[in-house]
């Protein structure tokens, strides 16, 4: 890595200005690369309320506000300003394949109409703005309960690729439903696809044909700002390190656990399906496979569970080429989906940070790498579906 220096004058600074749909204040964003050599230094940065978007060997990459830039200077971590140019353009033609909300729902309805005997499509709740959150169930529609697995994406608005992967996984499973391997899986598992948990934020990020680098949902906070980080709003160990109490922060955890209708929707869905054994939450980016705990540097105490997590993550790592590790080996984070799913429900839950590997590869807006990313993850998804039939409820339940 090039030598990191403090002088901002040596770098070309580009700002991204967008208009809040309910306010007229301008928000300037900076893309930065910050020196961070280990999980403790990364946690120190995270505790400023900065979302760590990309992880390198000795650095992290983030998109931050002017206020967060000031806070970053205060802790004396060396950093450099990167070029935001690629994030300030209209939708380029190469991004035409990404689904906006209505296109996604139309495509899901199309799958259901084409494969009515293998699918069930329904809304399981609504967002802050009253938008439906949809789930597509795939498999035999018999009433008897089978081992279940959930694939979800779109917790963070700007992570559009995380929506495409579960959607195209559904397309793959259905198109291959008569092949012996897939047919067996569909007959013996309940598979749920929730492509977008945060529909309001996702739509806002592409509103008016401009990328906004929006991360959170669209809750109107008491201080006039908008948004809660949904992946800091789940109830297990909520409010600890790795989340922010300040509403304007990118990692704002909300006023209380499950304050947001989106996370309550996921909570209620999971609780109502106690036969769910495995959960995969897709995010971007960094090419990682993460498992609990995130809220503490300590490992899972239950050695049987820890072995299952390590073995599954290791196997999927070989299939994807992604690096597998405990979440807190990156930095501490509290109130996230996978800690809650395992800590409260005994589900073997994993976070997949998809491609690209870094901001330099396109970050949140890498262009049309959908096919490659889906192909990279199909084998791991099939493995997880198969494994759902062989893991029981965690002994950790309490």
219 and 101 part of one domain = yes
Question: What is the DSSP secondary-structure string of 304-320?
Answer: HHHHHHHHHHHHHHHHH
pLDDT tens for residues 326-357?
A: 999 998 999 999 999 999 999 999 999 999 98
Query: For residue 140, what is the DSSP state?
Result: -
131 and 192 part of one domain = yes
pLDDT at residue 73 is higher than 80: no
Give the end-to-end CA distance of the chain in Å, rounded to a whole number: 45
pLDDT of residue 51: 78
Residues 6+ apart with CB under 8 A from 188: 146, 147, 389
pLDDT tens for residues 125-167?
A: 999 999 999 999 999 877 678 999 999 999 999 999 999 999 9
83 and 110 part of one domain = no
What mean pLDDT comes out for the span 77-86?
A: 66
What mean pLDDT comes out for the span 69-83?
A: 73
Let me know if residue 22 belongs to a domain.
Answer: yes
What mean pLDDT comes out for the span 191-210?
A: 92
pLDDT at residue 83 is higher than 70: no
Q: What is the band of 8 on the pLDDT scale with cuts at 50, 70, 90? A: very low
Domain C-terminal end among 51, 68, 89: 89
* Domain count of the fold of the chain: 2
pLDDT at residue 12 is higher than 50: no
Let me know if residue 392 belongs to a domain.
Answer: no
pLDDT of residue 15: 35
pLDDT at residue 366 is higher than 80: yes
pLDDT of residue 109: 97
Sheet holding 323-326, edge to edge: 119-126, 132-138, 190-194, 148-152, 276-284, 348-354, 288-291, 323-326
Let me know if residue 292 belongs to a domain.
Answer: yes
Contact 357, 286 (CB under 8 A): yes
Q: Give the Cα separation of 263 and 299 in Å (integer).
A: 25
pLDDT of residue 9: 28
Catalytic residue status for 207? no
Residue recorded with tokens 């050695």: 303
72 and 156 part of one domain = no
143 and 211 part of one domain = yes
134 and 187 part of one domain = yes
> In terms of pLDDT, which residue wins out, 227 or 91?
227
Let me know if residue 396 belongs to a domain.
Answer: no
The CATH number of the domain holding residue 232 is: 3.40.630.10
128 and 236 part of one domain = yes
The CATH number of the domain holding residue 63 is: 3.30.70.790
Least confident stretch, 66-75, 148-157, 280-289: 66-75
Domain C-terminal end among 89, 120, 139: 89
- From 113, 353, 379, 386, the catalytic residue: 353
What mean pLDDT comes out for the span 369-394?
A: 89
48 and 111 part of one domain = no
Let me know if residue 347 belongs to a domain.
Answer: yes
Residue span of the structural domain in which 62 resides: 8-89
What mean pLDDT comes out for the span 55-68?
A: 78
81 and 193 part of one domain = no
pLDDT at residue 1 is higher than 50: no
Residues 6+ apart with CB under 8 A from 128: 200, 217, 218, 219, 260, 261, 262
For the chain, the average pLDDT equals 86
What mean pLDDT comes out for the span 351-365?
A: 89
Q: What is the band of 359 on the pLDDT scale with cuts at 50, 70, 90? A: confident
Side-chain half-sphere CA neighbours of 320 within 13 A = 28
pLDDT at residue 168 is higher than 80: yes
196 and 338 part of one domain = yes
Domain C-terminal end among 89, 121, 148: 89
DSSP β-ladder status, 348-354 and 276-284: parallel
299 and 371 part of one domain = yes
pLDDT of residue 91: 46
pLDDT of residue 93: 54
Contact 163, 104 (CB under 8 A): yes
67 and 117 part of one domain = no
pLDDT > 90 fraction of the chain, expressed in percent and rounded: 66
């Amino acid at each position: 890595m090039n030598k990191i220096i403090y002088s901002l004058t040596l770098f070309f600074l580009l700002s991204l200005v967008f208009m809040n749909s309910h306010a007229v204040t301008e928000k300037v964003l900076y893309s930065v690369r910050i020196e961070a050599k280990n999980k403790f230094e990364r946690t120190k940065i995270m505790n400023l309320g900065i979302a760590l978007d990309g992880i390198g060997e000795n650095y992290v990459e983030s998109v931050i506000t002017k206020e967060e830039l000031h806070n970053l200077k205060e802790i004396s971590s060396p950093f450099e300003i990167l070029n935001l140019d690629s994030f300030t353009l209209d939708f380029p033609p190469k991004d035409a394949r990404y689904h906006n909300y209505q296109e996604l729902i139309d495509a899901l309805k199309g799958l259901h109409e084409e494969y009515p005997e293998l699918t069930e499509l329904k809304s399981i709740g609504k967002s802050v703005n009253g938008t439906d959150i949809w789930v597509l169930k795939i498999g035999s529609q018999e009433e008897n309960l089978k081992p279940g697995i959930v694939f979800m994406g779109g917790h963070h608005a700007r992570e559009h690729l995380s929506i495409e992967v579960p959607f195209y996984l559904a397309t793959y499973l259905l198109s291959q439903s008569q092949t012996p391997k897939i047919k067996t899986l569909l007959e013996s598992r309940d598979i749920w696809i929730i492509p977008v948990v945060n529909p309001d934020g996702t739509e806002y990020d592409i509103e008016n044909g401009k990328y906004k680098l929006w991360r959170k949902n669209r809750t109107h906070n008491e201080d006039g700002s908008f948004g809660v980080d949904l992946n800091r709003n789940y109830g297990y160990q909520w409010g600890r390190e790795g989340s922010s109490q300040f509403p304007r922060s990118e990692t704002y955890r909300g006023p209380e656990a499950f304050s947001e209708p989106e996370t309550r929707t996921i909570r209620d869905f999971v609780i109502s399906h106690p036969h769910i054994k495995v959960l995969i939450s897709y995010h971007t980016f960094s090419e990682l496979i993460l498992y609990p705990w995130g809220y503490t540097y300590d490992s899972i105490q239950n050695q049987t569970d820890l072995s299952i997590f390590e073995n599954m993550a290791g196997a999927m790592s070989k299939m994807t080429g992604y690096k597998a590790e405990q979440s807190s080996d990156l930095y501490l984070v509290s109130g996230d989906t996978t800690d809650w799913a395992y800590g409260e429900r005994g589900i073997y839950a994993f976070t997949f940070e998809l491609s690209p590997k870094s901001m330099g590869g396109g970050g949140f807006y890498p262009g049309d790498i959908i096919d490659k990313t889906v192909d990279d993850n199909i084998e791991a998804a099939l493995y997880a579906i198969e494994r759902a039939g062989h893991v029981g409820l965690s002994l950790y339940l309490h």
